[in-house]
Structure 1
Amino acid sequence: MDAVEENVTPPAPGEDRYRALALANSAMALPGGHYVDLLGTPAAASHWLTAHGLAPADAALGEMCSAQLRALREQIRALFASRVAALPALPAALAAVNDAMTRVPTAPLLKWDETTGPYRTTPHPTTALVDHALAALAADAADLLTSPDAERLTACASTPCNRYLLRNGRRHWCSTRCGDRARAARAYARRTRPAGD
């Protein structure tokens, strides 16, 4: 992933409040059939987790861990799509999010050192780090879907964009660029419409 990919689109409205929304939007469809996956490689997934405060800067994920992150992203996207379309959630998506939330302890565990005695800590070898990140992202998605903000959750109205956002007023686009593209497409359709239609 390079700086150009990161600058393709700014964060969608709501990503600053919900990391799960940022996760859902980490796979972007762009005009011209282009596609950007901010989690496409282990290095990119490590960078994304670090940038979102879910891993230390020296985190180095393997392919299995980054694949788990991408899989959770798809399940969260499925739940967002169900919510936006007012359809029942897919059972597999609910199970994946619930599994991620319950896979790790919610509090630091009690440990015992022979010299210093009891202490509490959260284990952080790489797999535990990823499990904690997945749990945090799944809980964040559950928080969004059960909050009043869920009423504002919508899909970007600009084709081919596949990102989600929290609608603010009448805005239905994830970025100014998408809004401009949608308005230009409508204007072009009006200009090219045959007379009498």
Structure 2
Amino acid sequence: MSETLTAESALPPAPGAGDHLALDFVNSAITLPGGQLIDLLGTPAATNQWLTERGLAPADAGVQEMCATQLRSLREHLKALFAAHVAGLPALPAALSAVNDALSRAPTAALLHWDEKNGPYRAAPCPTNEILDRALATLAANAADLLTGPDAERLTACGSTPCNRYLLRHGRRQWCSTRCGDRARAARAYARRTRPNAD
């Protein structure tokens, strides 16, 4: 794996990833041609950066390996749910349990606080030790909203091997990027040229 190659330099965000954080999250591990894997959650520092860039953790959160492992585990469970949905298959019970566990981790009620200058305001509690729970709950809730919302019928897997990303289909588009579409079209053209004539 090349340390200088990033997901952003390899592929742009998949269609729908800007609207659905869970889609961006599931696509944070990318398989490229030649079997190269880019994992944006591969290290604690990379995980902290990914969370910070999406407003899920402060830059100085100090994500540890245990936290990164929990996030990678949720990502795999969400990927399994996306795959089941796309294939029209029942969800794996373990994946559903993992998502529901993540959903129940963060408090949902914003508490009342009082600022001496500005008076009362509401904010959800998020001490440093709860950053991971809040991130897990946010990602799981976004995935649940995607899978049960109006965009669920547009969710699909990229049609270009070996890409493992998901996207929201728009029209007939079945690839997560122009690069994947070009690769799939080139493979089909090559297959047609090398197919023996059936005369």
**Is the TM-score greater than 0.5?**
yes
Indicate the larger mover: 31-40 or 121-130.
121-130
Report Cα offsets for 1:48-88 as digits up to 9, x if no partner: 10111111222220000111110110010010000000000
Question: Are 1:18 and 2:34 counterparts?
Answer: no
The amino acid that maps onto 1:175 is S
Counterpart of 1:38 in structure 2 is 40
Shift in Å, 1:126: 3.8
Instruction: State the partner residue of 1:4.
Output: 5
The number of equivalent residue pairs is: 194
Aligned to 1:170: 172
Name the aligned partner's letter for residue 83 of structure 1: H
**Percent identity among equivalent residues?**
69
Contact 2:103 2:140 survives alignment (8 Å) = yes
Cα contact 1:65–1:127 (8 A) shared by 2: no
1:94 is aligned to 2:96: yes
Corresponding residue for residue 117 of structure 2: none
Cα distance in 1 between the residues matched to 2:148 and 2:57: 26
For structure 1, which segment, 102-111 or 45-54, has the greater mean C-alpha deviation from structure 2 after superposition?
102-111
Select which of 156, 159, 162 maps to 1:160.
162
Point out 4+ residue stretches in structure 1 off by more than 2 angstroms.
1-4, 108-112, 118-127
Counterpart for residue 145 of structure 1: 147
- One-letter amino acid matched to 2:180: C
RMSD over aligned CA atoms reads 2.2
Structure 2 gaps of 5+ residues are 115-119
Residues 58-69 of structure 1 mapped to structure 2, 5 A cutoff = 58-69=60-71
Normalized against structure 1, the TM-score is what?
0.91
Equivalent residues of 1:13, 1:165 under 8 A apart: yes
Q: Is the 8 A contact 1:109 1:122 kept in 2?
A: yes
Aligned residue type for 1:4:
L
Counterparts of 2:147 and 2:137 in 1: how far apart (Å)? 15
Q: Check the 8 A contact 2:108/2:124 in 1, yes or no.
A: no
Name which of structure 1's ranges 44-53 and 102-111 shifts more when overlaid on structure 2. Answer: 102-111
